[in-house]
Amino acid sequence: MTEDMGDDGRVIAGRYRLLSPLGRGGMGIVWRARDEVLAREVAVKEVRAPAGLDPAEVARMYRRLEREAWAAARVSHRGVVTVYDVVTEDGRPWIVMELVRGLSLADVLEAEGPLTPQRAAHFGEQVLAALRSAHEAGVLHRDVKPGNVLVANDGRVVLSDFGIASLEGSSSITMTGEVVGSPEFLAPERALGRDPGPESDLWSLGVMLYMAVEGVSPFRQDTPLSTLRAVVDEELPPPRRAGPLTPVLEGLLRKDPAERLPAAETARMLRIIGAGGSLHASGGVVSGPDSPTAVEHRRYDAESTAPHGAPTPPMPMPMPAPGPASVPRHAPEPQRRGPAGLVLTLGIVVLLVALAVLGWLLLRDRDGGGGGVSPTDTPTISESASESPSESPSPSESPSDRPHRARPRSRSPCTSAPCATVTAVPARRRPIRRPPSPPRSS
């Protein structure tokens, strides 16, 4: 630590002034420094070779790290820390990088504890996007872990520390007695000394996600050797807090690299979980649109058809049957009830017509029996009036005077029914008047 503090204020390559150490790793120290030329703060990583190596191996390692740092500088992605420069000081390479202001994922886990599956999937999706960009450039990170994932103050998730990265297809730099990278995040093929590939970074991503949601590393043991043995031989402890993230963890943490979940499928599954969706099967591949709603529909369809095969199509029928089936049963009923309703309607109409005709006939009979006096009855009334002894006929009476004189007689009170009927008829048939017959005179 005293040696580190003594380097404060030291200028590297005549340009980068070391201010304070930011962190320490297995391959060196990361400094906060100031670029005296551009007047900006940067991160400078000092690479130190492991102890016990002869000078030839140290020189070869430094050359490899310098070349690999330049390879990492070719990765252009917002989720990858930008490498500005690689310089040599005291025979050692120094890597100048972007200074990301924020916390590492390791600091977040230490402060907040295990993450929710949705939040962990959000971080994992962005880290995987950075890894895929590096893999397309032919660069393997080889040290994916929470300490190398930075959560910037602006919310950006950045994958850092490409200092020990390697070019895909290059020879291994693993030394005897030394392990390049963190043992608990090391892939089994790397622990066995085999050539790594992009699948090795996916394994490390799976271990990081497991640790983020469970709070513990799945293969960590007391010593580095026992940890490597567990990585190679031990089965993955079943996750208990991963929830919908479990299929991703089980798919990434398969011992055989060829059987691991592909990067594209992993990215799609993490995107679904990060959006609040869930996956239908442990370790299974989910196909179709990327929306969580579509995933739920696919889960229903898969559970309905996959286990039962051909006999399953009839099974969902009872569920929607009550709606559609009731329509055909009730649809013919209006047709059967149609004639009955028509007959009933016609019967009511006929009944009403019959009642109307009957009423009309009754009214007509009443008019004919009580007040139906023919015009010929009028002369009879006149004759009786002329023969009455109370009135003497006068030759001077005109035909118009005789009805006028008979009208008061007809309005005289009368106790008999015919009298009342006869007097009522002329009043009702006043418009029809026939002249009386000429008076009889002797």
Contacts of residue 391, defined as CB under 8 A and 6 or more positions apart, other chains included, come to 385, 405
Tokens of 442: 């002797």
Q: How many CA atoms lie within 13 A of 268 on its CB side?
A: 16
Q: Is 143 a catalytic residue?
A: yes
Q: b/e for 236-269, b at 16 or more Cβ within 10 A?
A: beebebbbbbbbbbbbbbbbebeebbebeebbbb
For the CA atoms of 218, 221, 226, 231, what is the dihedral angle to 10 degrees? 10
Length of the chain in residues, anyone? 442
Report the C-alpha gap between 94 and 89 in whole angstroms: 7
Angle (nearest 5°) at CA 77 between 72 and 82? 50
CB neighbours (10 Å) of residue 349? 10
Tokens of 228: 């490597």
Report the C-alpha gap between 43 and 98 in whole angstroms: 6
Report the C-alpha gap between 14 and 41 in whole angstroms: 15
Closest CA to 421 of 363, 368, 361, 360: 368
Closest CA to 147 of 25, 274, 288: 25
Contacts of residue 434, defined as CB under 8 A and 6 or more positions apart, other chains included, come to 375, 378
DSSP H or E run through 360 = helix 332-370
Report the C-alpha gap between 295 and 290 in whole angstroms: 7
Choosing from 8, 54, 107, 143, the catalytic residue is 143
Contacts of residue 268, defined as CB under 8 A and 6 or more positions apart, other chains included, come to 286, 290
Report the C-alpha gap between 200 and 172 in whole angstroms: 14
Q: How many CA atoms lie within 13 A of 388 on its CB side?
A: 12
Question: In this structure, what DSSP letter does residue 315 have?
Answer: T
CA distances from residue 113 to 165, 344, 418 in whole angstroms, order as listed: 29, 80, 120
Point out the residues that are catalytic: 143
